[in-house]
């Protein structure tokens, strides 16, 4: 078999074995009304505006403006911008001393003319806070059957404490797209005894993944990150974010800028497909920033 024929066989096999989830077909409507065309209304709550979060917010804001979608977007993070953040996050010198979420929400709301709000009072460390963030309907169109309201939770955090809170929220939600991105930190080596240890450190901090959890009409269609990686739920000794600053975590396991950007690109690829086709065709995206490698794990057919 020639290489071209082999490639064709592989493409056809992948197409046959994968599934597309059409969001519009899974959400209930009022059948008393006929609507020829529906519009997606993403209600986005993003937890974390640090290394991954800054790039996610910028890319997603630009995408929302490009698709010209009605929307609500809340960026949540009480962390304060420090001078060292200027090297690897989307801040400028004038932002130092200000809360990251407030800065980014104002900047990209103004630049792209969007509805981006910020919640910077405290860390999201309980279900009640998360429920309240999704209950703000000031900008949500009401009374229009052609508007499909979809809550979207974005986890851009570096701790499993927050992931457990988001997992619990996913379990009780009727409709929710939950996107979580996680990356590998750089393995620091003090007083390396061999070139092998140094090489291991140099090659670390480049990998990561994004996992999509999807629940529509109370039915889980895609398992969330804590179900894919159950050790997240077993990690009961994790310290709450309010007790351990993001800067402290990053100092022990620093992140690479290129990996942060890959994480944002991988996460936004889910939303680009959703905004354009109202569907989702992948469950996970794995990437290696140093090797310029990104691979989607499609939704298997039932």
Residue 229: pLDDT band (50, 70, 90) is: very high
- CA dist list (Å): 211 to 234, 292, 298: 18, 19, 11
Percent of the chain with pLDDT over 70: 81
Residue 196: pLDDT band (50, 70, 90) is: confident
Q: Which residues pair with 130 in a beta bridge?
A: none
Q: If we measure between CA atoms, which residue out of 20, 53, 18 comes closest to residue 274?
A: 20
What average pLDDT is seen over the chain?
A: 86
Q: Is the pLDDT of residue 211 over 90?
A: yes
Q: Is the pLDDT of residue 199 over 90?
A: no
CB atoms within 10 A of CB 82: 16
Angle subtended by helix axes 100-112 and 51-67, to nearest 10: 20
Quick: pLDDT tens for 159-183: 999 999 999 999 999 999 999 999 9
Q: Which helix (H) or strand (E) holds 208?
A: strand 207-216
Q: Is the pLDDT of residue 140 over 80?
A: no
Rounded to an integer, what is the distance from CA 113 to the centroid of its chain? 22
For residues 14-52, one letter each, b for 16 or more C-beta atoms within 10 angstroms of the residue's C-beta and e for the rest, the string is: eeeebeebebeeebeeeeeeeeeebebbbbbbbbbbbbb
Residue 222: pLDDT band (50, 70, 90) is: very high
Percent of the chain with pLDDT over 90: 67
pLDDT value, residue 241: 83
Q: In the structure encoding, which two tokens stand for residue 270, read together?
A: 């889910």
Q: Is the pLDDT of residue 139 over 50?
A: no
Between 170 and 28, where is the model more confident? 170
Q: Is the pLDDT of residue 142 over 50?
A: no
Residue 84: pLDDT band (50, 70, 90) is: very high
- Look up the CATH architecture of domain 39-298: 3-Layer(aba) Sandwich (3.40)
Q: Which residue has the tokens 């490009």?
A: 66
Region 89-113 average pLDDT: 96
CA angle at 264 for the pair 258 and 265, rounded to the nearest 5°: 90
Q: Is the pLDDT of residue 301 over 80?
A: no
Q: Which of 70-84, 88-102, 129-143, 262-276 has the lowest mean pLDDT?
A: 129-143
Quick: pLDDT tens for 286-300: 999 999 999 999 998
């Amino acid at each position: 078999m020639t290489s071209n024929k082999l490639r064709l066989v592989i493409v056809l096999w992948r197409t046959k074995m994968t599934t597309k989830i059409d969001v519009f077909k899974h959400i209930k409507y009022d059948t008393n009304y006929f609507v020829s065309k529906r519009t997606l209304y993403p209600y986005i709550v993003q937890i974390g505006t640090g290394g991954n979060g800054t790039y996610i917010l910028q890319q997603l804001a630009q995408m929302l403006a490009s698709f010209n979608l009605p929307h609500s977007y809340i960026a949540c993070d009480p962390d304060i911008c420090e001078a060292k953040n200027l090297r690897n996050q989307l801040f400028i010198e004038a932002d130092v001393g200000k809360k990251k979420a407030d800065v980014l929400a104002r900047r990209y709301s103004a630049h792209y003319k969007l509805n981006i709000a910020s919640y910077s009072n405290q860390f999201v460390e309980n279900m009640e806070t998360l429920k309240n963030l999704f209950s703000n309907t000031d900008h949500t169109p009401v009374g229009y059957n052609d508007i499909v309201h979809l809550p979207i939770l974005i986890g851009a955090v570096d701790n499993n404490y927050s992931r457990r809170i988001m997992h619990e929220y996913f379990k009780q939600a009727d409709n929710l797209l939950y996107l979580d991105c996680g990356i590998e930190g750089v393995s620091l080596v003090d007083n390396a005894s061999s070139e092998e240890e140094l090489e291991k450190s140099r090659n670390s901090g480049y990998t990561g993944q994004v996992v999509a959890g999807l629940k529509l009409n109370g039915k889980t269609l895609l398992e969330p990150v804590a179900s894919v990686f159950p050790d997240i739920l077993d990690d009961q000794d994790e310290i709450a974010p309010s007790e351990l600053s993001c800067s402290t975590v990053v100092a022990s396991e620093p992140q690479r800028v290129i990996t942060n950007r890959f994480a944002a690109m991988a996460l936004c690829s889910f939303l680009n497909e959703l905004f354009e086709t109202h569907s989702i065709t992948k469950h996970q995206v794995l990437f290696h920033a140093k090797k310029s490698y990104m691979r989607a794990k499609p939704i298997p057919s039932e």
